Amino acid sequence: MEFAIFATVCMIMVGAFLFVRCTKGAGPLALALKSIASIIFVFAGIYATYKIGLSLANMFIVFGLILALFGDIVLDLKVAYPEQVKPYLNTGMISFSCSSAMYIVATILIWNGLKNFVLACVGSFAIALLFAVVVLLLAKPLKLDFKGYKVQTVVYSTLVAMAGILSLFISFYVPGFAIFAVGVLLVLVSDLVLSLMYFGGKQNSKVLCIINHILYYIGELMVVAYLFFQLG
């Protein structure tokens, strides 16, 4: 019930943000609404972690949510102030890369010592790196221009893909972790949509903007849902 309240309020704020963004464009109001939506999923994560009782793995999940919040704000500043695209985009990509790294650390802490731990870590990294390379190879046919962001794209794509793949593997061993895995994978899909916007010349697409944000916020909320799942 508590999670449902947090999720509903968060998605209402997302809806309000998208309405403003699509009708009036980027600006202070859109930034404020998006920030509030992200603050809600961070607060929900902190609240659930407090009620569960502190554990190192859950703390890393919360750190990941906080870094995602920071990235949300920075990337929207990029839209609001297009003359400062490079520093905002670089900072946003670093923030989300660190967020994915926190999710990976949390997953490793939960899985450490369980069956096939080392194999899953190595396999997840290899698959994730291959995914990042494929993204670059598909750039030309998909008409994506990564400009000066190829290194950042490879690093971030590898980390977010590894977070999703590794968490998917562990979901076969840890009850309820599939919720977290699906959440991270939805964030990954939302980032693929975002790449089409940023690097495919479709930054003004309202449809892609809506799809990107809905997938992203549902994904982060599912990460939070895993924390609430632990409450029973």
CA gap 191, 184 in Å, rounded:
11
Q: Give the model's pLDDT for residue 117.
A: 75
Sign of the alpha-carbon dihedral angle for 108, 100, 153, 87: negative
> In which domain, by residue range, is 189 found?
2-229
Distances (CA, A) of 109 to 57, 112, 113: 6, 5, 9
Contacts of 65 (CB under 8 A, 6+ apart): 41, 42, 45, 99, 220, 223, 224
Q: What is the pLDDT of residue 208?
A: 92
Tokens 């409450």, located at residue: 231
Question: In the chain, helix, strand, coil percent, each to 5?
Answer: 85, 0, 15
| Residues of the chain predicted below pLDDT 50 | none
pTM of the model: 0.91
In this prediction, residue 47 carries a pLDDT of 95
Report pLDDT digits (tens) over 131-178.
888 888 887 887 777 777 888 888 888 999 999 999 988 888 888 899
pLDDT of residue 140: 80
| Number of domains the chain contains | 1
CA atoms within 13 A on the CB side of 222: 20
